[in-house]
Structure 1
Amino acid sequence: MKPLKLHVFTLFPEMFEGVLGSSILGKAEQKELVSYHIVNFREYAQNKHSQVDDYPYGGGGGMILKPEPLFHAVEDVLGFTPHKSQKKRPRIILLCPQGEPYTQAKAEELAQEDELLFICGHYEGYDERIRTHLVTDEISIGDYVLTGGELASMVIIDSVVRLREGALGNEQSAKTDSYSTGLLEYPQYTRPADFDGMKVPDVLLSGHHANIEEWRRKESLFRTWQRRRDLLESYSLSEQEKAWIAEFEKTQTSE
C-alpha cells in the first residue's frame, strides 16, 4: 500500500501543528505511512491585501470565500487544472454543514485512497463554483455549525489514518471499534479484577474463548439496542441476535 498523501487547504495552518504531530497521527508520519501537506490558500490571493473573501452577490450578511485562491492552490498542488483537465483528480473534500453525514463506512472508503485533499472554509460560506467545479465530496461531521472546517478535517484525518495498515499497534483494534462491525463496541475491562468492590464479569476471567466471544457479541448488541437502535435498521441480524433482542425486550418490559 502506498503512503497516503493528505493535503489540507486552510487559512489557519497553525491549528494543525499539535494534532498532526501527536499520537497515532504523528507516529504514522514517522513510519512514512502518511504525509501531511498544509497549504495556506491566502498565499494564492490575487490582490495586494491577500483577500480571500468578498460580499455575496445579491446582498446578505457575512462574507463568502472567493473561488480564485482555492482553485489556484489546488491546481498548484495537483499540477493540473481539475475543472479543465481530463486527468483523474484525487478526492477533493469540502468540509461543509450541507455535506453528506460522516460515518465509519465513509472513513473506511476514504482509507483506501492514495491521496486526499481537504478544503477548510471560514466565514459565511463558499462561492458555489467551488462546490460545482472543484470538489468531489462534501462532508459534514454533524448537524451543527463550526467556525471553520479545520476541526472537521482533523476528525476525518484521524479516523482515516488509523485505518491504514501499520498505523495501529494492534490491527485488530480498528476492526472491533464501534461502528466498524455495524454495532457499538462491547464493554472493556482491565486489571485489577476487583476494584473497590466493582468486579470484572466472571466470563472474561474464565479463559474460555468461545464464551468470551459470545458474551462480547451479546453485550455489543445490547449496547447498540440500548443506545443506538437506529443502527439496527440497517444491520442484518442473525437468529441468535434476534433471540437476544427478544430477551432484552422481555427484560425491559418486566422492569
Structure 2
Amino acid sequence: MMKIDVLTLFPEMFDGVFGSSILKKAAEKGAVDYNVVNFREYADNKHKTVDDYPYGGGAGMVLKPQPIFDAVQALSDGAAVKPKVILLCPQGERHTQRKAEELAGEEHLIFICGHYEGYDERIREHLVTDELSIGDFILTGGELGAMVVIDSVVRLLPEVLGNEESHRKDSFSTGLLEHPHYTRPADFRGLKVPDVLISGNHKLVEEWRTKESLRRTWERRPDLFEAIELEPVQRKCLEEIKKEGL
C-alpha cells in the first residue's frame, strides 16, 4: 500500500478529491492511504502562525521552516522507507507521465502545499527531495497542483484501474499521443466511425491505431519525437504521414 501525506493549510480542499471517483476507489481497494495534515498544528508559537515577513523586505509573506520541518519529521519517524518529500512550486521540474510512473513505484510520498509569497529556502534545500510544477503559471497555492500529481500517480498503482492496459497506452506513457477513440453508434448524425474499427480485423485495427497515434503526435506535439526512438514500422508510418501532409 502506498502512503500519501499532504501538508496544507486548507485540508478541506482535499475532501471531494480523495472522496470521489478513482481516488476514492483506490483507497477502498487498499492501494493507497491518504492523510491530510494542517501543518499549522505544528507551529511552535502561541498564535500558530506559519508565515513571516521576508528578510530584506518585499511584498508578501514567506512560510517559516519550523512548522514544515516538524510536520515532515513527525510523518517520517518510524517509517520503514524514507519518504519522497515533494514541494509544489512553479520553479520545480515540469511534471510528466514519466515522473508519475517513477513516483508510482514509491511507498511513501509527502506533498507540501504552500501559500503566500513562497517558502523559506531552507525547506527547499534541506528537506525536499523533489520540486514539481504542473505548468508555467501561478496558482494561489500548491493544493491544486498536488491534486493533479496525486491523481496521475494513484491511477498507475496496481489494480486501481479496471484494465491495466488503460494506462499503459495512455498519451505520454508510450512517448506518443494516444490515437482517437470511438464508440457506438457507428453512424451518429451522419458522422461515421472509420471502417477499419468495425472490420473485426484486429491486425488492421492495431496498424490504424499506431498510425493515428503517430499522426496526432506529429500534428500536435512533434517535439515529443525528440525524446523517443521509433521502431522501424513506426518510422515507416511517420514518413507516410509526412508525405500525406504535403
- Shorter-chain TM band: over 0.9
Asked if residue 198 in structure 1 is aligned to residue 191 in structure 2, the reply is: yes
- Distance in 1 of aligned mates of 2:169 and 2:205: 14
Correspondence for 1:170:
163
Q: Give 5+ residue unaligned stretches, structure 1.
A: none
The equivalent position to 1:180 in structure 2, one of 173, 187, 194, is 173
- Distance in 1 of aligned mates of 2:19 and 2:125: 33
**Cα distance per residue 1:94-140 (max 9 Å; x no partner):** 00001111100000000001110000000000000001111111111
Amino acid at match of 2:167: A
**Cα distance per residue 1:43-85 (max 9 Å; x no partner):** 11121221100001011111000000001111111127x9xxx
SS at match of 1:169: coil
- Distance in 1 of aligned mates of 2:232 and 2:163: 31
- Alignment RMSD (CA, Å): 1.3
Correspondence for 2:89:
96
The equivalent position to 1:157 in structure 2, one of 134, 150, 153, is 150
Offset of residue 244 of structure 1: 2.4
- Distance in 2 of aligned mates of 1:7 and 1:212: 43
- Distance in 2 of aligned mates of 1:164 and 1:88: 18
TM-score normalised by the chain length of structure 2: 0.97
- Distance in 1 of aligned mates of 2:73 and 2:233: 54
User: Superposed, which structure 2 residues align to 1:47-66 within 5 Å?
Assistant: 47-66=45-64
- Distance in 2 of aligned mates of 1:88 and 1:191: 48
Aligned length, in residue pairs: 246
Contact kept, 8 Å, 2:86 with 2:129, in 1: the verdict is: yes
Q: Give 5+ residue unaligned stretches, structure 2.
A: none
Offset of residue 247 of structure 1: 2.3
- Distance in 2 of aligned mates of 1:216 and 1:246: 16
Offset of residue 88 of structure 1: 6.0
- Distance in 2 of aligned mates of 1:239 and 1:166: 33
Contact kept, 8 Å, 2:211 with 2:238, in 1: the verdict is: no
Amino acid at match of 1:198: L
- Distance in 2 of aligned mates of 1:247 and 1:172: 28
Correspondence for 1:124:
117
SS at match of 1:118: strand
Correspondence for 1:73:
71
- Distance in 1 of aligned mates of 2:72 and 2:233: 51
Percent of residue pairs identical: 64
